[in-house]
Chain A
Amino acid sequence: MTKIHVKTNINGDKVEFLTDPRETLLDCLRNHIGLTGSKEGCGTGDCGACSCIFDGNLVSSCLVLGVEAEGKSIETIEGMAGEKELHPLQKKFIEMAALQCGFCTPGILIAAKALLDRNNDPTESEVRYWLAGNLCRCTGYDKIIKAVMETAKDIRETA
């Protein structure tokens, strides 16, 4: 199938790629741009391992077509850390052992950041429901929820 030329912005960088119109944004990120931090756990929008920010909205990038990225702005896990240090959520996840295998971690971090960017004082229930679309099979979520709550607290205290 003829490929389509897409111009987009990923993590602040201008990016161009050619895509088969059947490919998802996740396919393009992983296979054309070399950003393999976003993961495919299901391909049907159920697991959240491919979570990205798409023009300010949290999406499952496996449910977005690559061609839809034209002219958009996309944030992935690779753009989460600052130049000098990790994002507070990334730091807290390591400190509080909020990951085991780490496969769901990029998607959960992206989703949790999207929550804290909107609301830095969520209740535990709000965190649990916000992250209900991100499956983790290793941790039982306990340490993930605690790490997000603690990060929110740190963000409030330093604000």
Chain B
Amino acid sequence: MAKDELAKDFKYIGTRPNRPDGYDKVTGRAKYGADVAAVGMLHGAVLRSPYAHARITSINFEKASKLDGVKAIITRDDFPVGIDGDTLNLLENTIAGEFAYYDGHAIAAVAATTVHIAKEAINEIEVEYEVLPHVIDVDEAIKPDAPVIKNNARDFSVPEGSSPNVASYIEFGTGDIDGGFDKADLVKSGRFKTEAAHQGYIEPHACMAQLDHDGQGEMWVCTQGHWYIRQMCASVLGLEASKLCVTPSEIGGGFGGKTTIFIEPLALALSKKSGGRPVKIVMSRAEVLRATGPTASASMDVKIGITKDGYLTSGSVEFRMQGGAFGGSPVSEALQCAFAPYNMPAAHHIGYDILANRPRAAAYRAPGSPMAAFAVESLIDEICTDLNLDPIDVRLKNAVKEGDKSSYGPKFKKIGLIETLEAAKDHPNYSISLGDNQGRGVAAGYWMNHGGETSVSVSLAEDGSVNVTVGTPDIGGSRASIALMTAETYGIPYDSVRVNIAETGALGFNEPTHGSRATLASGKAVYEAANQTISEMCQRVARKWQIDPDAVFWENGYAKPAGANAGDFSPISIKQIASEMDQTGGPIAGHHEASIRGVGHSFGVHIADVEVDPETGRITVLRYLVAQDAGRAIHPSYVEGQFQGGAVQGIGWALNEEYVYGADGCLQNAAFLDYRVPVASDLPNIDTIIVEVPNPDHPFGVRGVGETGIAPPLPALANAVNAAVGARLRSLPMSPGKVLKTIKTGEDGC
């Protein structure tokens, strides 16, 4: 679509209709991962390591297998050998081989006729462990005397002489770093630390799987991406991908955590071993916290130079992130996000992906960006305080815009950081006066967004309504946004579009709903597919009128003759064309498959007001503002919802949430009572400003809105706490005890 069309008025886009799956979800009818059952179904349970690091010397399941109702027991011996690379890591994390690498690592699994019997059987399995030394903290893990978690864990990128617990290394930069610091009037540096946080989706992982000895199988599973599940299960089990049909259930939240496998291959293997009976496995909350992916913990050194009037001259970061026992922390993304909002004449980035005896990190909303923002945006705030500069003005002076080179290389296309900063500055929240022990914090955040592999189809029903089939599970209203874009493309009512999420056999490969891509990528693909059907409809009408197809055009749900040369015909509606399909050549359908391009970068600016109780260290969030460039808000309510939900996850990470390990390396807070996500009474309303600087490379201007919002809260709250009581915390979470200590001693918590 031409750029000038981006400014046009839309009929449906930007409205707020009811979501199509609303009824199902308010009546309890919607089927999530654990909500299905099948005839002859067995229940699975998983035995997990009680040690952070151990050699498994023997597994004896003779007693367990004799229990009445036990139908299958599997260990690593039931999985293929000869697997290597990333697939080996996936398999090792699914079920331990020689070593258990973290508290909660799966050792064996049982299928039985009831859940109770399966759990009894788990308790009867006898495992002998040789307990090995463990390491939990990211900085401890690279000390010379740290326990070596795996030999040969490092990849090609790790320089000789690095700690054996370094899995990968990355370094990039631009400009003259030292020269930049020489030009600065103030150079400031600091170390910042963040703890691992869990995605905390309320729905635990659940699946029901069936696999026969001929290699054909089916699975029902809550996941962000069922093609990923198919690909990963097929690779660790040695199956042919197309023989495994994976159907996504409704999904009770994912935030990145449901983009990989955990229990799914176990359920398939149990089914196969029990003669092809369906096996359902549902994780407990404790299992979710102990054994699925939280995000990485991070230790970060930052140095920034600035002139006294607020222009950045140079910046360097060294980030060390542990992503569990298999590597895979989002350190590369963190580095890309670190200085992305700013024009840095010189910037240098170093990152280490480090192993520790913790669960394998999974993606979590804007992976890496929140940690990077905490370190960089906190330090920029410290600089603003030292130089007595307005934090939004400093960001405006240095903000990137169209044509500027990003801190990681490529130039930005049209972006909306400046507009977002200005909108935040103009909002009433920025000028409300504050009382004693109250403070205001500002921070920016960035996510690059993602297109990804996408396949969709669109078909006309005989009454002129439209079915859209996509492969991106709907986690937060994407059926509504895709239906709006479809309605806009055809010029038919929103209610005449039904969006289905299809199983793996119905479409080509789709990446998950991740990277803020569902509305951007599926929306763009649906636009292309719908236009194929429009072109087909115009051709059929041209045949009917016996004129050239180019003389027919489409407008507001009608095929119309294009001007005087085309002749004098009455427009024909989509309803009529559809009703005549069977007499004009048969079904009308379109499809589109591509790695979607034209991604639009997304920037956000948050303003947080807090009050700190100087006697207890408790932080109360008084008010909170999210301003973010959405490109175009297709369904503004769900865009606001993404902003608000992201912000509150960031608030939880900043204030409460952390993985607490004992000296034995075991997780001590594997329950929602102790791993405390924000509750309604912790929070104020979350105010939002949707900034719209349309993405010129998307037919409707979409950028993707899901992820950016989680990054700024971490520094915004730390900056607000400092403004309130002069306590600069450089370590998260800012739990009351830590805040109190910083108030009293001035220590930053690192």
A and B directly contacting (CB within 8 A)? yes
- B647 interface residue (CB < 8 Å to A): yes
On whether the beta carbons of B19 and A139 are closer than 8 Å, the reply is no
Binds A, one of B164-172, B250-258, B264-272: B250-258
On whether the beta carbons of A39 and B32 are closer than 8 Å, the reply is yes
Inter-chain CA distance A93–B255, complex, in Å, is: 22
- A144 interface residue (CB < 8 Å to B): yes
- A122 interface residue (CB < 8 Å to B): no
Residues of B within 8 A of A69 (CB): none
Most buried by B among A20, A49, A95: A95
Contact of A86 with B27 at beta-carbon distance under 8 Å, contacts A94-B19, A94-B22, A138-B641 already known: yes
Give min CB distance, A44 to chain B, whole Å.
6
> Interface residues of B toward A: which range?
35 or more
On whether the beta carbons of B26 and A101 are closer than 8 Å, the reply is no
**A37-95 contacts to B (CB < 8 Å):** 37-44, 46-47, 49, 76-78, 80-81, 86, 90, 93-95
- B31 interface residue (CB < 8 Å to A): yes
Most buried by A among B28, B648, B686: B28
Q: Which residue of B lies closest to A109 (CB)?
A: B26
Residues of A within 8 A of B19 (CB): 94, 97
Inter-chain CA distance A78–B30, complex, in Å, is: 11
Inter-chain CA distance A46–B669, complex, in Å, is: 13
On whether the beta carbons of A36 and B28 are closer than 8 Å, the reply is yes
Q: From the candidates A44, A96, A106, A136, name the one contacting B637 in the complex (CB within 8 A).
A: A96
Most buried by B among A1, A31, A41, A132: A41
Residues of A within 8 A of B638 (CB): 97, 100
On whether the beta carbons of B202 and A39 are closer than 8 Å, the reply is yes
On whether the beta carbons of A38 and B28 are closer than 8 Å, the reply is yes
Residues of B within 8 A of A94 (CB): 18-19, 22-23, 26
On whether the beta carbons of B202 and A142 are closer than 8 Å, the reply is no
Q: From the candidates B26, B253, B647, name the one contacting A137 in the complex (CB within 8 A).
A: B253
Residues of B within 8 A of A146 (CB): 685
- B681 interface residue (CB < 8 Å to A): yes
Give min CB distance, A144 to chain B, whole Å.
7
On whether the beta carbons of B202 and A20 are closer than 8 Å, the reply is no
- B561 interface residue (CB < 8 Å to A): no
- Scan B529-551; emit 1 where CB is below 8 A from any A CB, else 0: 00000000000000000000000
Q: From the candidates B200, B672, B680, name the one contacting A131 in the complex (CB within 8 A).
A: B680
On whether the beta carbons of A141 and B253 are closer than 8 Å, the reply is no
- B25 interface residue (CB < 8 Å to A): yes
- Scan A9-43; emit 1 where CB is below 8 A from any B CB, else 0: 00000000000101000000011000111111111
Inter-chain CA distance A41–B254, complex, in Å, is: 13
Q: From the candidates A43, A77, A128, A144, name the one contacting B28 in the complex (CB within 8 A).
A: A77
Q: From the candidates A36, A86, A134, A135, name the one contacting B31 in the complex (CB within 8 A).
A: A36
Contact of A143 with B681 at beta-carbon distance under 8 Å, contacts A41-B204, A42-B671, A137-B253 already known: no
Residues of B within 8 A of A142 (CB): 640, 644, 683, 685-686
Q: From the candidates A41, A81, A86, A129, name the one contacting B203 in the complex (CB within 8 A).
A: A41
- A114 interface residue (CB < 8 Å to B): no
Residues of B within 8 A of A44 (CB): 285, 671-673
Chain A: residues with Cβ within 8 Å of the partner, total of 59
- B476 interface residue (CB < 8 Å to A): yes
Give min CB distance, B46 to chain A, whole Å.
15
- A116 interface residue (CB < 8 Å to B): no
Contact of A101 with B116 at beta-carbon distance under 8 Å, contacts A86-B27, A90-B27 already known: no
On whether the beta carbons of B672 and A46 are closer than 8 Å, the reply is yes
On whether the beta carbons of B203 and A127 are closer than 8 Å, the reply is no
- B325 interface residue (CB < 8 Å to A): no
- Scan A118-159; emit 1 where CB is below 8 A from any B CB, else 0: 000000010111011111111111111110000000000000
On whether the beta carbons of A128 and B26 are closer than 8 Å, the reply is no
Give min CB distance, A135 to chain B, whole Å.
6
- B341 interface residue (CB < 8 Å to A): no
On whether the beta carbons of A135 and B677 are closer than 8 Å, the reply is yes
Give min CB distance, B379 to chain A, whole Å.
27
Inter-chain CA distance A105–B25, complex, in Å, is: 7
Inter-chain CA distance A20–B22, complex, in Å, is: 35
Inter-chain CA distance A143–B636, complex, in Å, is: 13
On whether the beta carbons of A137 and B31 are closer than 8 Å, the reply is no
Residues of A within 8 A of B282 (CB): 40
On whether the beta carbons of A128 and B672 are closer than 8 Å, the reply is no
Residues of A within 8 A of B476 (CB): 100-101, 138
On whether the beta carbons of B647 and A136 are closer than 8 Å, the reply is no
Q: From the candidates A43, A102, A141, name the one contacting B250 in the complex (CB within 8 A).
A: A102
On whether the beta carbons of A128 and B680 are closer than 8 Å, the reply is yes
**B610-667 contacts to A (CB < 8 Å):** 635, 637-638, 640-641, 644-649
Give min CB distance, A18 to chain B, whole Å.
12
On whether the beta carbons of A135 and B18 are closer than 8 Å, the reply is no
**Chain B: residues with CB nearer than 8 A to chain A?**
16, 18-19, 21-32, 34-35, 37, 114, 116, 199-204, 250-255, 282, 284-285, 475-477, 635, 637-638, 640-641, 644-649, 671-673, 677-683, 685-686
16 pairs, CB–CB < 8 Å, chain A vs chain B? A39-B34, A44-B285, A78-B27, A78-B28, A90-B27, A94-B26, A97-B16, A99-B22, A100-B645, A101-B201, A101-B250, A101-B476, A103-B203, A109-B26, A141-B683, A142-B644
Starting from the known contacts A41-B202, A139-B644, 5 additional A-B residue pairs (CB-CB under 8 Å) come to A30-B35, A36-B32, A103-B202, A132-B679, A140-B683
